[in-house]
Chain A
Amino acid sequence: MKDLLRLKTSLNEEIENILNAQIKVEAHSSSVYLAMSSWCDDQGYDFSSDFFTKQSEEERKHMMKLFNYVNDRGGKAISPEIVNVPTDFESFRSVFEQMLEQEMYVTQQFNHIAEKCIKLKDFVTFQFIQWFLEEQIEEEYVARRILEMFDVIGEEGTGRWEIDKHIPKVSYEG
């Protein structure tokens, strides 16, 4: 019998579902970072606000990369509904702690996708997500380095102003 299913899509249903779930995670990250940007701006941390705006745009690009991949492989990418985006944060430091937690969660999700790809022998998707796994090294590094600045510089006096000023300089050389 003619294989209509594979004529339509090269993606296994499980892989399509897990990628759509990841699209939602990336979209949620983008929204959370935008909320963080707004909070930082409100609190007077201009450099951090810009930093989170860029992070938000980057997460959106990640989302679109996954979105286009699902469609390009014959699947059906789902535009996600985003809920539970925070509007307030406890402190300047807690914003970056949440950022690190968010990035660690994303890494965990990509590891899970990689595991599923190997299990289902989808090496094309496995190859595709290598880019995201490498990207996560940078994301986690940057969040950790910023958190370390809170200890190195200290928050007392003009500490937070100093930390904010140094945020754009944190980069991963690889």
Chain B
Amino acid sequence: MVCPLANFEEVYRTDHGAVYQCSRQNCYWLEFAGDTTAFRVSDFFSFKKKIDAIDVSAMIIDPSRTADFTILMPFRTPRCFVLDINDVLNLRELLNGAKFMIELNSVINACLKTTPSRVAKL
């Protein structure tokens, strides 16, 4: 469940989940597979790297039953992600989109800070 004190803004959404930013707690919330998880900024990007590093080809090729799922337990979260190939691809799509929007927000903020009108005010 999402923190009731959180001050939310949607970062990115797909059919399979969403990422929100809480500007009060300075964290991101991941909504995926019917549950929500809070990540600190650095943890969020570490989690994305772990998802990107999953070898989907190996999961497809490997005939053993255990290869159908990947289990991830990110530190500092109570969540255990049990992901099949579809979940991995869906999560990647969501996290890639969220990362793009987070970086775009940074670029926009940087541009706004250097516009002539702001400089004039300073």
Contacts and interface: CB of A to CB of B under 8 A. Distances in A.
Given A1-B9, A1-B21, A76-B42, A6 B26 contact: no
B42 A4 contact: no
Nearest to B103: A5
Contacts of B106: 3, 5-6
Please report whether the interface of chain B is mostly helix, strand, loop or mixed according to DSSP.
Answer: helix
A143 to B, nearest CB: 37
Interface string A1-28: 1111111110001000000000000000
Given A1-B21, A2-B21, A5-B106, 16 more contacts: A1-B9, A1-B11, A1-B23, A3-B105, A3-B109, A4-B23, A4-B26, A4-B102, A5-B102, A5-B105, A7-B41, A8-B41, A8-B42, A9-B42, A76-B42, A76-B46
A46 to B, nearest CB: 46
Interface residues of A, number: 11
A9 B21 CA distance: 17
Contacts of A13: 45
B94 to A, nearest CB: 17
Contacts of B46: 76
Interface string B100-119: 00110110011000000000
A8 B106 CA distance: 11
B23 A2 contact: yes
